[in-house]
Amino acid sequence: MSIETIDGQEVIVVVTSPSPTFGIDDGVATEESTEPATKKRARGKAQVWDELCTVPSNEALTQWFKESETASGYKWCRRRTSYTSRGAKEYFQCTGAGCLVQLEALYESSSENIIISTNGKEHQHEERSHSGWGLSEETKSEATRLFRAGITKAPVMDSELRQLGFTGFTARQLTSFLARLRRQTRDESVLEEYSELSVWSSGGRNSPDGAASPPPKRPAIRIVAKSPPEPAEPPTMDEAAIAQLVASSLEAREQAYCAYSQFAVGAALLCADGHVVTGCNVENASYGLTNCAERTAVFRAVAEGRRRFSAVAIAAEMGDVFVGPCGACRQVLAEFNPEMPVILAKPDGQTKRTSMKELLPMPFLPKDVPFKK
């Protein structure tokens, strides 16, 4: 034991006796000596890492982890990587609930050795179930009753439970338990829907009298292509119709999934039969897979058998600027009506009218495809 001064504070450093390590020499394990424990600075505090052993390669490190997990039953998960003057460091955390034990693997830049160290903590694992841990049975029972009654939002259920006198739980615990209830409800609905089709629904493949039960009859599935009805006359584009179309686009904007850009867009497509089809932008962690609101509305309308459009309203918020469709959406809209009226709207109610002919003056249309039959 020694006392050192770091940033004006005395720190006691405990150095354990060297632990034997094993190297690899022609396939035979040989015992080697190790260096004393090393000390590092972690987040402003002095931390002692006790050196366990040294391995000569990545394959030996993998084998060491396998043997350690087999002998102790503890699993390890890689958490982060850092780089120092001595070499790269990888940190591993015990996967037990609430366990603070960590390992450090130092890849020495001066050699091919890998030094494995531990933070000296003891394994202490908490007993937790997967969902709803920490909630009392009374709280779970009441939460289940509220969920069956139609209260499925965590903030609303939290308020209801506390008004009924149920306390001693956190929002995280309640949210986890609600996720479990949703999964159970989904599984129950699936089993109920397909119970008549399952050969095991009655408890086995054979009937009670021992005779083989006949296979259940599956419902016939017919795919019928529906052609859009021909309207007697196009819908009237008066002020009331435009106001309704703008309101539909603003309502669709509320459903936008824009977790990355936070830029919500809604679109409302007025079909030739007077039906309004809405769409919103749907983003993706792979940014290129993001779909705009205008194309969402068009694809949805086509899937419903509608291909003649009379107008479109697009709602977005960008200060004083009215937001129009992007280039890809302009081409998709022009495919079905190159002169379609376009209404640009803001959440405060301001609107601006334009048309596809102004937004895309030289579109590439189906008549321009030379090999079209």
Which residues have C-beta within 8 Å of that of residue 327, sequence separation ≥ 6?
Answer: none
Task: Look at residues 308, 84, 340, 123 and name the one whose alpha carbon lies nearest to residue 237.
Answer: 340
Per the DSSP assignment, residues forming a β-bridge with 267 are 279, 314
Handedness of CA 291, 297, 300, 305 (dihedral sign): negative
Which residues have C-beta within 8 Å of that of residue 117, sequence separation ≥ 6?
Answer: 37, 38, 49, 50, 51, 52, 103, 104, 106
Q: How far apart are CA 84 and CA 103, in angstroms?
A: 16
Residue listed under structure tokens 């699993």: 75
Quickly list DSSP for 56-114.
SSHHHHHHHHHHHHHHH---EEEEEEEE-SSEEEEEEEE-STT---EEEEEEESSSS-E
Q: Is residue 342 a contact partner of residue 324, using CB atoms and an 8 Å limit?
A: yes
Task: Look at residues 340, 288, 345, 296 and name the one whose alpha carbon lies nearest to residue 316.
Answer: 345
Collapsing DSSP states into helix, strand and coil, what is residue 213?
Answer: coil
Instruction: Mark whether 358 is an active-site residue.
Output: no
Task: Look at residues 351, 150, 362 and name the one whose alpha carbon lies nearest to residue 243.
Answer: 351
Single out the catalytic residue among 294, 317, 339, 358.
294
Collapsing DSSP states into helix, strand and coil, what is residue 282?
Answer: strand
**Single-letter amino acid, residue 14:** V
**Phi, psi (rounded to 5 degrees) for 34:** -115, 165
Which residues have C-beta within 8 Å of that of residue 330, sequence separation ≥ 6?
Answer: 356, 359, 360, 363
Q: Is residue 237 a contact partner of residue 310, using CB atoms and an 8 Å limit?
A: yes
Using a 10 angstrom Cβ sphere, with 0-12 exposed, 13-18 middle and 19 or more buried, the burial of residue 88 is middle
Handedness of CA 180, 181, 184, 186 (dihedral sign): negative
Catalytically active residues are 294
